[in-house]
């Protein structure tokens, strides 16, 4: 059975259709990449999955259980973790305290276990030296690392990553990919929105293309990237 399923999920903002009958399944432990032009509805899709937005139509299921009416907090407790495209740390708290909040209240980790758990995550995400820094003062790269660490701290079974590789150097991107591969190897299912294709395809086994809120195509990366309609729409290359 799929860990995450969307069935005919639709959402409009006024006259703008941002999701149109979106249906797909994510298998347990699968890594699925999501690409598409700016404004295609990718981040909106994540908000529909996490409960930050409710669909106008359709359903979202986790382990076959309909969670469409659940709050973001309930979905997090059930195992859906996410990073935000625009990082949203508690700016006045330290990096470590941000993780502690996620681990205790999102991940249900005990007060006794949380310190070691959080320090381990800080090391894995390259933030150990910044544990005591105020999160609000971090530059973008470290804010993105903190987004990833916070999502991991909630102990998700499905993790949703929204454009965390953009603007990184090759070395930084390589480190990030290694961390995400580790998360995947531990059995966590991944949905990853990313414009940096080589990072994405180093992890995912399937790609989904969104365009104007619709699923244009879903399949293995080579086939998807070779499809004329994808090359035209996503890469701007004439078919």
Ligand X SMILES: Nc1ncnc2c1ncn2[C@@H]1O[C@H](COP(=O)(O)OP(=O)(O)O)[C@@H](O)[C@H]1O
Using rule CB under 6 A, residue 166 touches ligand X: no
Reading the block at residue 99, the tokens are 């993780």
Using rule CB under 6 A, residue 83 touches ligand X: no
Furthest CA-CA distance within the chain? 59
Nearer to ligand X, 9 or 130 (CB): 9
Smallest gap from Cβ 56 to ligand X, in A, equals 13
Nearer to ligand X, 45 or 121 (CB): 45
Give the alpha-carbon dihedral of 165, 168, 169, 175, to 10 degrees.
-50
Q: Binding to ligand X (CB under 6 A): which residues in 40-59?
A: 40-44
Smallest gap from Cβ 144 to ligand X, in A, equals 16
Using rule CB under 6 A, residue 82 touches ligand X: no
Binding characters for Mg ion, 76-115, by CB under 5 A (x = yes): ---------x------------------------------
Smallest gap from Cβ 93 to ligand X, in A, equals 26
- Per the rule left: phi > 0, alpha: psi between -120 and 50, beta: everything else, 79 is left
Smallest gap from Cβ 121 to Mg ion, in A, equals 25
Smallest gap from Cβ 105 to ligand X, in A, equals 25
The option from Mg ion, ligand X, none interacting with 154 (CB < 5 to 8 A, set by class) reads none
Interface size with ligand X, residues (CB under 6 A) = 11
Q: Which residue is nearest to Mg ion (CB)?
A: 43
Question: β-strands 214-219, 206-211: how paired?
Answer: antiparallel
Using rule CB under 6 A, residue 38 touches ligand X: yes
Closest CA to 36 of 25, 60, 20: 20
Using rule CB under 5 A, residue 43 touches Mg ion: yes
Nearer to Mg ion, 220 or 235 (CB): 235
Chain residues in the site for ligand X (CB under 6 A): 13, 16, 18, 36, 38-44
């Amino acid at each position: 059975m799929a860990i995450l399923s969307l069935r005919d999920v639709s959402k409009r903002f006024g006259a703008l259709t941002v999701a149109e009958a979106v249906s797909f399944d994510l298998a347990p432990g699968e890594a699925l990449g999501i690409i598409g032009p700016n404004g295609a509805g990718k981040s909106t899709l994540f908000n529909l999955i996490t409960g930050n937005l409710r669909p106008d139509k359709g359903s979202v299921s986790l382990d076959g259980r309909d969670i469409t009416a659940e709050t973001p907090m309930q979905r997090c407790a059930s195992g859906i973790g996410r990073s935000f495209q625009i990082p949203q740390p508690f700016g006045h708290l330290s990096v470590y305290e941000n993780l502690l909040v996620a681990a205790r209240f999102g991940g249900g980790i005990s007060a006794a276990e949380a310190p070691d758990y959080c320090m381990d995550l800080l090391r894995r995400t390259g933030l150990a030296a910044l544990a005591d820094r105020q999160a609000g003062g971090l530059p973008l790269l470290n804010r993105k690392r903190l987004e990833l660490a916070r999502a991991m701290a909630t102990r998700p079974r499905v993790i949703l990553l929204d454009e965390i590789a953009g603007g990184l150097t090759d070395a930084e991107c390589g480190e990030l990919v290694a961390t995400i591969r580790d998360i995947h190897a531990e059995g966590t299912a991944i949905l990853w929105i990313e414009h940096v294709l080589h990072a994405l395809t180093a992890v995912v086994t399937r790609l989904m293309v969104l365009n104007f809120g619709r699923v244009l195509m879903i399949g293995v990366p080579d086939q998807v990237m070779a499809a004329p309609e994808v090359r035209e729409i996503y890469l701007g290359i004439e078919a």
